[in-house]
Amino acid sequence: MKLSDFDFDLPEGLIATRPVRPRPAARLLHAEGGAITDRHVSDLVDILRPGDRLILNNTRVIPARLFGERHRETRDGSGRAKVEVTLIGPEGEGGWRVLARPLRKLAAGDRVVFSDELSAVVRSKDDTEAVLDFDLTGADFDAALDAAGRMPLPPYIESRRPADAQDRDDYQTVFARETGAVAAPTASLHFDDALLAALKAKGVAMTEVTLHVGAGTFLPVKVEDVTTHKMHAEWGEVTAEAAAEINATRKAGGRVIAVGTTALRLVESAARSGQLQPWRGDTDIFIYPGFRFQAIDGLMTNFHLPKSTLLMLVSALMGKDVIDTVYAHAIAAQYRFFSYGDASLLIPDSAA
């Protein structure tokens, strides 16, 4: 299975840099039972059945991108330099692993000042990242980060425009509760309170799980044999209540549909024994063609980058030939791609 098998040509104009409004007005490519239908996210009320269950990732994105100045004692006074960091994961009380640009300008012991309220000392550094010890913790850190930080938009958006105040709302789901993600579970961005209420009235149940999406979700696959790729680890939790709800839906004959690849990867991590169990910890599960799904019957997700692990995941769910057809249709029909783009609802034939 080669990386080149998952490549395709995407016109640059189809990369969305802003979401549509209202959120459920986004288009929805519905692939089920061998048919492809062009719909809108608001049509989920008509598509889903009473007794189906949506799995929602309730992680909350932090404004993880910071711009600061490095301070280092030097004889000639040259110890100041501009640096940009993106938080990628906690590392003990007050500590965070970060990606830094330029990383070469940081050394252990340097102080980095991000605002009058927020600064940090470099604890350590390797070839790819650094660890910073911030001078605030808990609610004080959260408040200072909220004031100084910027939403960590994906590179393919950030390269076209900087994050702004509107992204504070656009890049956060309406059910975000558990703080810790540095990237959004983007399929969930299409829901608003009205759509959630309409789905509940239809008899569609919902279960929340938590997977704190990491910056590694944007890292490219660098090996030609995709089976040798090593995934980044992300922290997640499926509570006992969530596991019981999902298992009850499957036992009753309802369909379990993950909203987003993050929710899917988490519940499949919790179901490797063949039965979904309560689960808490880091997962680096890699789903590619040949994977046997244990927990879900379908997936709502956005359209993914060429050669990405997420494109491999949807190929595992639907079959590569089906996904090739789905993506060709999406490009021809001018669907909007990636984090702020349109969505697909993928139901394999076995669950249709």
SS3 letters for the chain? CEHHHHCCCCCHHHECCCCCCCHHHCEEEEEECCEEEEEEHHHHHHHCCCCCEEEEECEEECCCEEEEEEECCCCCCCCEEEEEEEEEEECCCCEEEEEEECHHHCCCCCEEECCCCCEEEEEEECCCCEEEEECCCHHHHHHHHHHHCECCCCHHHHCCCCCCCCHHHHCCCCCCCEEEECCCCHHHHHCCHHHHHHHHHHCCEEEEEEECCCHHHHCCCCCCEHHHCCCCCEEEEECHHHHHHHHHHHHCCCCEEEECHHHHHHHHHCCCCCCCCCEEEEECCCCCCCCCCCCCCEEEEECCCCCCHHHHHHHHHHCHHHHHHHHHHHHHCCCCECCCCCEEEEECHHHC
Q: What is the residue whose two structure tokens read 């519905």? A: 30
pLDDT in tens, 91-118: 888 899 999 999 999 999 999 999 999 9
pLDDT digits (tens, 9 = 90+) for 196-228: 999 999 999 999 999 999 877 667 788 888 889
Residue 165 banded pLDDT, cuts 50, 70, 90: very high
For the cut 90, the answer to whether the pLDDT of residue 349 exceeds it is no
Residue 76, pLDDT score: 65
Provide the pLDDT for residue 78: 64
Residue 77's pLDDT is what? 62
Query: For residues 345 and 340, what is the distance between their CA atoms, to the nearest angstrom?
Result: 16
Read off the pLDDT of residues 223-280 as tens digits, 9 standing for 90 and up: 888 889 888 889 999 999 999 999 999 999 999 999 999 999 999 999 998 889 999 9
- Alpha-carbon distance of 63 to 84, in angstroms, equals 13
Topology given in CATH for the domain delimited by 65-148: Thrombin, subunit H (2.40.10)
Domain range list for the chain: 3-61+167-351, 65-148
Residue 266, phi then psi, degrees to nearest 5: -70, -50
Average of per-residue pLDDT across 2-17: 95
Alpha-carbon dihedral sign for residues 40, 43, 44, 49: negative
Q: Tokens 């990867």, residue?
A: 265
Indicate the pairing of strand 95-101 with strand 130-134: antiparallel
- Give percent above pLDDT 90 in the chain: 84
- Tens digit of pLDDT for each residue in 123-147? 999 998 999 999 999 999 999 999 9
pLDDT (0 to 100) of residue 295: 96
Sheet with 234-238: strands ordered across: 35-40, 27-32, 343-347, 298-302, 256-259, 53-57, 205-211, 234-238, 279-283
Instruction: For the chain, give the percent of residues with pLDDT over 70.
Output: 97
In this structure, are residues 71 and 113 in contact, taking their beta carbons and an 8 Å threshold? yes
Q: How far apart are CA 25 and CA 139, in angstroms?
A: 36
Q: Mean pLDDT, the chain, as a whole number?
A: 94
Domain at 3-61+167-351, CATH class: alpha beta
Average pLDDT over residues 329-348: 98
Amino acid at 310: L
Instruction: Quickly state the pLDDT bin for 189 (edges 50, 70, 90).
Output: very high
Calculate the CA 174 to chain-centre distance: 15
Q: Which residues contact 210 (CB under 8 A, 6 or more apart)?
A: 57, 58, 59, 178, 180, 236, 237, 266
pLDDT at 173: 98
pLDDT at position 92 is 81
* Mean predicted confidence (pLDDT) in 314-331: 97
Distance CA 142, CA 349 (A): 45
Supply the pTM of this predicted model.
0.92
Buried (b) or exposed (e) across 230-254, using 16+ Cβ within 10 A? ebbebbbbbeeebbebbbebbeeeb
Check residue 63 and give its pLDDT.
96
What does the pLDDT read at residue 217?
A: 67
> Which residue has 């692939």 as its token pair?
31
Top pLDDT among 34 and 286 is at: 286
